[in-house]
Amino acid sequence: MKSAALARPAPPTARAEPVVSHFEFWPDWAFYAPIVAQWVLLGLRYGSMSLPTAANPRIELGGLCGESKSAILDQVTGAARALLAPYVCLPPAGAAAMERAMAAAGLAWPVIAKPDIGCNGTGVRLLHDAAGLAAYLAAFPADARVMLQHFVRAEGEAGVFYIRRPGETRGRITSLTLKEAPFVVGDGRRTLSELVRADPRAGRIPHMYLPRLGARGAAVPAAGERVRLVMVGNHCKGAIFHDGHEQITPALTQAVETIARALPDFHFGRLDLRFGSLAALRRGEGFTVIEINGVGSEATHVWDARTRLRDAWADQFFHYRMAFEIGRVQRACGHRPAGIAAMWRNWRRQKRLMASYPAHD
């Protein structure tokens, strides 16, 4: 894994080449084909294609797909709950009912709205008022649940991958990804679309940003005006990821261990955090947990543009092999894998819902 020793992520225009790795935006089938092959081989070896679903037995399908985000956070107990961004989750009732639920949960504008079942930032928006909430709910499927969460204003965002074998007294952080929001800077002459196309990184992947900008693409930002291109911290939505393994310290590992142990039988997954400074993060302080993901999550440092393909695959192979090995131990302890049929049903349900969610920010 490569170094990301940055005091603060720099603008994409200031970063050295490469700004995009040669495999970073391959079609899913091309990048994941070897990983699927490994999954099948491990399934044959261990006698179960769904064995990883037993790795986190208190989470539906171990967090592979189709699980409820709020149901995972609901299980966090004790003092660790203070580290979670406050949230409320309910069916898409009218805006007035949702506002009452927000008030009862101590939430105030702005809030993050997201589907309770989903992935990759699909349907995630920053809402500033009741009108925005009403518009969001109008576009939301009636058979899904909406999660409204406190908007953490801290600029830093990280994905921290945690693994603990059953029976071990301590787990470890196997990956840390720093997430950077892409932006362009206006010059008072060019339109937003022109700025995107001229940017060293965004210009390589304009399809990530231009459709979302819509009519805003014709606007001319003022000279020096910084325009953020995407809000959600997801690579497949255009956020920029940096390998941050140098930020892993004993203090941060202990802080993550505290949270992971506050979630019953949690052994494998990624915590998504917002933080104020890297110095505080290294001390295991000053961060807020916005999501906890299970066996379907990735060690996302592989999407650093400097990562070599062989290293990305090697790290993916390691993590999914660990999911199978932990599942094997859990099965021996009496936790049954979900089975292929349940995996298929949950994947189909998640896929159907994601196709019906509102556009992301």
The tokens describing 220, both together, are: 């001319």
- Percent above pLDDT 70 for the chain: 95
The mean pLDDT value of the chain amounts to 93
CA distance linking residue 78 with residue 56, whole number of Å: 19
pLDDT in tens, 73-86: 999 999 999 999 99
CA contacts within 13 A on the Cβ side of 266:
25
Of 21-25, 76-80, 151-155, 215-219, least confident by mean pLDDT is 21-25
The tokens describing 305, both together, are: 């543009």
pLDDT band of residue 18 (cuts 50, 70, 90) is confident
CA distance linking residue 110 with residue 136, whole number of Å: 13
pLDDT band of residue 230 (cuts 50, 70, 90) is confident
Instruction: Provide the pLDDT for residue 236.
Output: 82
pLDDT band of residue 13 (cuts 50, 70, 90) is very low
The tokens describing 323, both together, are: 């999911």
Instruction: Provide the pLDDT for residue 40.
Output: 98
pLDDT in tens, 209-223: 999 888 999 999 999
pLDDT in tens, 30-70: 999 999 999 999 999 999 999 999 999 999 999 999 999 99
Instruction: Provide the pLDDT for residue 361.
Output: 81
Burial label, 206 (beta-carbon count in 10 A; 0-12, 13-18, 19+): middle
pLDDT at 354 over 70: yes
The strand order across the sheet containing 156-163 reads 240-243, 172-180, 156-163, 268-275, 287-293
Domain boundaries, the chain: 12-85+153-181+230-356
CA distance linking residue 70 with residue 148, whole number of Å: 10
Helix (H) or strand (E) run with residue 345 in it? helix 340-356
Mean pLDDT along residues 186-208: 94
Mean pLDDT along residues 12-38: 82
For residue 209, which amino acid is it? Y
CA distance linking residue 151 with residue 166, whole number of Å: 34
Question: Which CATH number does the domain 12-85+153-181+230-356 belong to among 3.30.470, 1.10.3860, 3.40.50, 3.30.720?
Answer: 3.30.470
Of 245, 185, 176, nearest in space to 13 by CA: 185
